[in-house]
Every structure is written in structure tokens, then in C-alpha cells.
Amino acid sequence: MKQRGSSMLIKMIRKKRWLKKFDGALRAAYEASNYLNHYSYQWFSENVYSLALGLDSAIDFDEEFYLSHNADIARAVKNGGLCCGYVHFCTLGKYELRVWSSKKIYEIRPGGPILGAGLAEPKNIFPLPHYTPDLSALPESSEKSLVILIPFLVDDLFFAGYTSFFNDMTLIFPLFSDVKVIVSNAHYNEHLLDKYGGNIQVLPFSDISLLTVKPTLVYCFDTETFFQAKQVFGELKRVVYYCQDYESGFYPYGSMYARSQSAIYLSKNIVFSTGILASSIESKGLLGDDVNIYITSPKIEPFSVKNVKSKKLFFYYRPEFFNSRNMPELILRTVIDFCQKHTGYEIYLVGAVGTSFSQNINGTNVVILSKLAKDEYLDLISSCDAVVALIYSDHPGVIAYQAAASGIPTVTNTFEIRNADFIHSISSNLVPFDPVRDSLVDKLEFALSMPKGNCDFNSAMYEQRSLLSFYDFNSKIIGNDRSYTR
């Protein structure tokens, strides 16, 4: 009897220590749980303790299932850093879209919850994101303020699209007393923006609730940042979608494909990165009746070309999972097939992020290089006899047109309304390639038969810029003047 009483005392002491140790986390979980306002904190903490020990608990949550499918949380619980999976779920897990289960499933399937594996793995098990908090009721700012929403701010991705975007943004910074850049990914390098001005404040999206006034204008960079702007600020007339491609093409047909289309359709103000992109999206019937359109464009800057044939070839190569539109698999197959037919060449595949290696294919050196510094890039590409730069999407790309403008025979692909006639109208140095009907090896061989060094570029046809200045376009949005279009 005495031994039994001693055992109960030990259990009570352990429980008291556990509840004291994790009191802060438990209270945070209680505030975020479905039990707030229905049960007391004491009831909640007692039942969470039972859940953590694997005992009967009124908390409707399968602790074992959560830990078995979230290994990092299981380790933290085992190491004593977390009290249990449920507390993590309440405070973080549900926002991180962690997989979880209630206990109801046991009434229907005695074996409890299960996730498919292999081909049956439920990769699309999570809902579309919904962004909080709702800041639509914030007071108006007494001074003009700009919020810019971007997904990433990291060295490896800060070129091309990002630099073009911020180059345009600098044109309107003088309109605003306050500029905030809000980054979806919490890991960022704010110093990448130093060259664009000293009054830019960078915040993670998790701190967006720190805003105390409603911004005068909001710029978003892609589909998800558009929905951040829509769901957090609520007023689309002050939101501008800076559209650099038809993002639906990044996804298979399904929820995300439609979501990307919806971002375009719902937008009241859109900046398109090129005229052909705007025309392509307009042809799909996705633009709303009252949308304000502005067309900007990358500035194509020709470089000096070394006219002597070098037997060097340049391929724009992006093997990252998010760059399938650049057709890296086709590029590499073409390189291999070309090397089986021809010898004596040096082949460079340039543009990867963080990837560099080399191969020897049938006696030909093939070098895969990460993106180069500008001087190194220009020195290499200017020495090449031909360039291949593909982008199977509505955005025409930049590298192919820069190379062609400089006098290098360049193969680039057709896509929907960007047909061979359009490509030829921009430069006689461009070799149109139809990925469905043509052989890329054949097109490369044709490019190598062309003369090098004849500069030719129709900049107006490529750019199709709006006549209105970018500054005036944004000034009119701020002034709520919706009487203009492109």
C-alpha cells in the first residue's frame, strides 16, 4: 500500500513538473485551439498531458499519427524540446500544413489513419494556401507608402526577373515616403536591395501583422504574392501584379493551374514584362474588362562579338526543378546527339544555380557552369559560334534576343502566338525551333552555317513598351484614375 502511494506521488510530481516546464507552450496552444472559450485552461492542460503520455484524452487528435509522419517533431518531443505533437500542431503545424488526423477515423477504420505510399502517396493532400492576418481594416496612411511582396530574396535567385523588377520599382520609389519589402521565405539577404535605396525596410511575411497602416500601393511578384495581397489587404484596386510569365504553365492541369489563371483574371492592375507576353495572355481571354495594363520590357543590350569562328557553342541551361520551361532535358539530349555527329567543338551549358561539372562526350568537352559574373558571361558568349536558348512559355526570354542582337546565330523556340514569323521579324540571326515538329540538332547545324557578326535587332517589335511612363502609370493608380489603358 505504501509502495502504491509512493508511486502515485512520483507521478503527481512528474506531472506537476511537466505542466510547469511547458506552461508557456501549453497556454499558447490553448489560445490557438478549438477548445478556447469552451473548456478551462486546466481542463486543456490536463488532457494534453494525458495525450502526451499515450493515455485516454478528450483532445480529439491522433498524437501517434502526427509524430509518425512528422519526424522532426517526433525528434523534438523525444529530446524534450517539445511537450507533444499536438501543442506543435496548434501553434505552428496547422499553419505549416502538417498532416494530422482526428480520432473519428477509428470509428470507421479500426486500424486508424494511414497515408498511401509509392504511387499512392497523397502529395496533393493539402488545401490551397490562405493568407492571414486580415489587415483590410487598417487606417489609411497619412503619407504615401508602398508594400512590395516577393517570394524570395536570396543571392542565387537575384538576377534576371528580380533585378528587372527592382529596376522598375526604383522609378516609382520617389512617389512614396515609406517602402517595405515583405518576403515570403524567412531566409533572406536584405543587403541585396542596398543599391536600390536606403529607405527600404525588409520584413518576413510572418511579421506582416506589424503594419499599422494600409499601404497606398501594393506590388506583387507572382501568383502567391498576389493572393497574399488580396487576402491580407483585400482591396485589389491598390494592388499591382507584376507578371513576368504565364505561371499556369509551371503546373499540370489542376488547382494550381487554375489559381494562376485566377490571379491574372482578378487583377485590376497588371504590369507585363514584354508585349508578346501581354498579347499571349490577352489571347487566352483571361484579362478582366476593367484591368489597367502596362507593358515594360527588359532592355536588350548588344555586346561586342568576336567574329572569328571558335567552334564554341553556348546553351542556356537551367536544370532546377522550377525551370522546366527552359527544357533542360531536351538541351542535354541535343548535346549528346550533336557530339555523336560532330567533333572538335567546346560546348558550354550555362545558367544553373549552384551546379558546375564537366563531361567528355565522344571526345568533346562539355562544361556545365553555374551562372557567371557579367564580365565572364559576356566574354564566353561573345566567343561562341552559336547560341541555343529555349523557353517553352509565353515569356520570350532575354538571352536568345541579346545574342541575336549582337550578331550570333541563335536558336530559340516558337510558342503559341510567338511563331516563326514573329521571331524572324525581330532578328535575322534567330533560328525558330518548333519543339513539337523540329529537330534541335538540325536547327543548331543550320545556325552554325550562318555568318557571325551581323548585328540585327528590331527592339520595338520585341519590347512593345507602353507609351505612358511607368511613373505616370503608378501615379494614376494612386490617384484612382481608372480611365486609362495601355
Cell numbers at residue 211, please?
A: 503594419
147-206, pLDDT tens digit by residue? Answer: 999 999 988 777 778 888 999 999 999 999 999 999 999 899 999 999 988 789 999 999
Cell numbers at residue 316, please?
A: 542556356
Sheet with 364-370, side-by-side order of all strands: 357-361, 364-370, 346-352, 312-316, 386-388, 410-413, 430-433
Task: Indicate the pLDDT class of residue 26, thresholds 50, 70 and 90.
Answer: very high
Does residue 483 register a pLDDT over 60? no
* Strand 217-220 versus strand 239-243 pairing type: parallel
CB 154 within 8 A of CB 174: no
Cell numbers at residue 216, please?
A: 497606398
| pLDDT recorded at residue 481 | 43
User: Residue 256: is it exposed, middle or buried by C-beta count within 10 angstroms (0-12/13-18/19+)?
Assistant: middle
| pLDDT recorded at residue 5 | 56
80-122, pLDDT tens digit by residue? Answer: 999 999 999 999 999 888 999 999 999 999 999 999 999 999 9
**pTM score, two decimals?**
0.87
| pLDDT recorded at residue 484 | 39
- How open is the CA angle 391-396-401, to the nearest 5 degrees? 100
| pLDDT recorded at residue 4 | 58
User: Residue 40: is it exposed, middle or buried by C-beta count within 10 angstroms (0-12/13-18/19+)?
Assistant: exposed
Task: Indicate the pLDDT class of residue 480, thresholds 50, 70 and 90.
Answer: low
Residue 413 — φ and ψ, nearest 5°? Answer: -95, 155
Average pLDDT along the chain: 93
Task: Indicate the pLDDT class of residue 455, thresholds 50, 70 and 90.
Answer: very high
Closest CA to 77 of 90, 62, 65, 67: 67
CB 150 within 8 A of CB 221: yes
The domain 145-295 is placed in CATH, from the list 3.40.50.11090, 3.30.70.141, 3.20.20.10, 3.40.250.10, at 3.40.50.11090
State the DSSP code for 441: H
Percent of the chain with pLDDT over 90: 84
| pLDDT recorded at residue 486 | 43
User: Do 312-462 and 145-295 have the same topology in CATH?
Assistant: yes
- Name which CATH class applies to 312-462: alpha beta
Q: CA-CA distance, 178 to 52, in Å (whole number)?
A: 48
Q: CA-CA distance, 135 to 188, in Å (whole number)?
A: 24
Cell numbers at residue 335, please?
A: 548535346
3-state secondary structure of 372: coil
Per-domain boundaries in the chain: 2-120, 145-295, 312-462
Q: CA-CA distance, 59 to 101, in Å (whole number)?
A: 12
Closest CA to 301 of 369, 182, 171, 401: 401
Q: CA-CA distance, 194 to 443, in Å (whole number)?
A: 43
Cell numbers at residue 154, please?
A: 536570396
| pLDDT recorded at residue 482 | 40
